Amino acid sequence: MNGLSEETLAVCFAKCSRSGETFDVIAKELSDEKSGKFHEKWVVGYGHSSVAEHAVVRLAMENVSLLAVEWIQDNRLASYTEKSSRYQIYDKNRYVIPEDVKRDKRALKLYKNAADGLLGAYHEMIEPLNCQCLKQLSGQEYSEAKIKGMCMDQARFLLPAGMMANLGMTANARVWEYAISKWLSSGIDEVIDMAKEVKKEVEKSCPVLVKYAAENKYLKDIYFQQITNHKLQITKNKNKKPVRVVDWDRDALDKIVASLIYKKSFGEYKKIERKLKAKSKKYKIDVLKKLLKNRTEHDRLPRDFEHIYISFDVLCDQGAYYDFKRNRMMTQIRQDLGVENGYMMPKMIKEIGMDKKYNEVIKKAEEAYFEIRKKYPISAQYLVTKAHNRRFLMKMNLRELFYFVRLRARKAGNFAYRRIAMAILEEAKKKYPEIMKLFFEEKELDSRGSIEKEYFYKFV
């Protein structure tokens, strides 16, 4: 079937549900014209959208802002690879200037002065940071990549959301159609322009499957709805706790063990659960230990753990959130980018004597943000740095929580997201002490407190 277009391949796979012929025989009967008519009738006309999942398109996206990348990656069923801010130095001249800011001379001057100040300091601190990293690793074995990673982990806090990045995205036509509609409904000029270009490119491979992707008024209302009951709005947050549990399943142990027993039984789940409630906690823990005794740290937990959900209200620097957004097997509800919750300063910035400069350029960016926000609230977000704190809700099941912590709390990872991963683990342990004890030993990971003490100078 080599040489067939993506839309024709999709039809070929779709026809196997009604035809007893081999795929090669089915493929010989098809053409791009026939496939287009099939998609118009069955996928578009009758809503058999799953057929579109067999058509896959890969796109390279260049010179999109970090703010736009958030919209791009806000699609679960796609794959992304993005320019790293840990192993690459960002060009100080490559940042997006929103169109409404370009047309306003005063706003443009504020915007450019703020962005240039941040990026000037970013580049100025790279060499001193590099020297400090070498000093810290004196006498140890290290690679050039490790030094660069350590250095840029500190410097990237000053990168604003307007910085340009490149990324690759792979998705099927069904995902592309929904993504394009979301982007066209975003209300952000850059994202809308990008969506129009993406649609043209995807149409080259899938002319029928995405041609009806358009702005969606329903989605636009969701993204820009105004909550009129101001009594419910809180603009200042005195509580700076990084992670707070806001909801969780109270009967986690019973639910997990009942599910494990259920799949080897022929009885009703509720009856198993009722019988299990009469058993001791020790009995239930022993069941878990026996079934999972051969599990290694590289093995995923069974799906039974997906029955248990826990929700967190997280406050962390935008740099950490920017990495967390790629963990898509969870529900994330993020607040807009802003400077209202303060910012973070890594300890190494103080150690190289650039703390004053760091504070100056961030304060300058904040002043510009507040001025520009009066007229252009969306465009002001481009000046928010990775140092600034952001709130988001994060709901995940226990299976994903174990994976998330294992991935994000590893000592080789960035210290900012390690801090939050450990805070999540510490809060989850309070709710599920018996379960969490089975999988995490304190000696394996650094505590949140030790990470903060080692890597952070100030929580502003």
230: how many CB neighbours lie within 10 A of its CB? 7
Residues 77-93 have a mean pLDDT of 93
Per-residue confidence (pLDDT) for residue 444, from 0 to 100: 72
pLDDT band at 46 (very low <50, low <70, confident <90, very high): very low
Q: Is residue 8 part of a domain?
A: yes
Quote the mean pLDDT of the chain.
89
Domain span at residue 2?
A: 1-54
pLDDT band at 254 (very low <50, low <70, confident <90, very high): very high
Dihedral sign, Cα of residue 330, residue 333, residue 338, residue 339: negative
pLDDT of 373 over the 90 cut: yes
Q: Is residue 426 part of a domain?
A: no
Per-residue confidence (pLDDT) for residue 112, from 0 to 100: 98
Q: Is residue 1 part of a domain?
A: yes
* Percentage of residues in the chain having pLDDT higher than 90: 71
44: how many CB neighbours lie within 10 A of its CB? 16
**Beta strand extents in 155-295 (DSSP E only):** 164-172, 243-248
Q: Is residue 63 part of a domain?
A: no
Per-residue confidence (pLDDT) for residue 49, from 0 to 100: 67
Q: Tell me how far apart the alpha carbons of residues 418 and 409 are, in angstroms, rounded to a whole number.
A: 4
* Percentage of residues in the chain having pLDDT higher than 70: 88
pLDDT of 282 over the 70 cut: yes
pLDDT of 443 over the 70 cut: no
Is residue 324 within 8 A of residue 407, CB to CB? The reply is: no
Q: Is residue 239 part of a domain?
A: no
The string of DSSP codes covering 79-135 is EEEE--TTTSPPPTT-B---HHHHT-HHHHHHHHHHHHHHHHHHHHHHHHHHHHHHH
Helices 415-431 and 448-455 cross at an angle (nearest 10°) of 160
Is residue 355 within 8 A of residue 457, CB to CB? The reply is: yes
Q: Is residue 129 part of a domain?
A: no
Tens of pLDDT, residues 95-138: 999 999 999 999 999 999 999 999 999 999 999 999 999 999 98
The DSSP code for 337 is P
Q: Is residue 272 part of a domain?
A: no
Q: Is residue 357 part of a domain?
A: no
Residues 154-178 have a mean pLDDT of 96
Is residue 87 within 8 A of residue 152, CB to CB? The reply is: yes
Per-residue confidence (pLDDT) for residue 16, from 0 to 100: 66
pLDDT of 213 over the 50 cut: yes
CA quadruple 381, 387, 393, 396: dihedral, nearest 10:
130
Query: What tokens does 397 get?
Result: 């099941």
Is residue 393 within 8 A of residue 311, CB to CB? The reply is: yes
pTM here is 0.90
Per-residue confidence (pLDDT) for residue 40, from 0 to 100: 67
Structural domain tally of the chain?
A: 1
Q: What letter represents residue 97's amino acid?
A: I
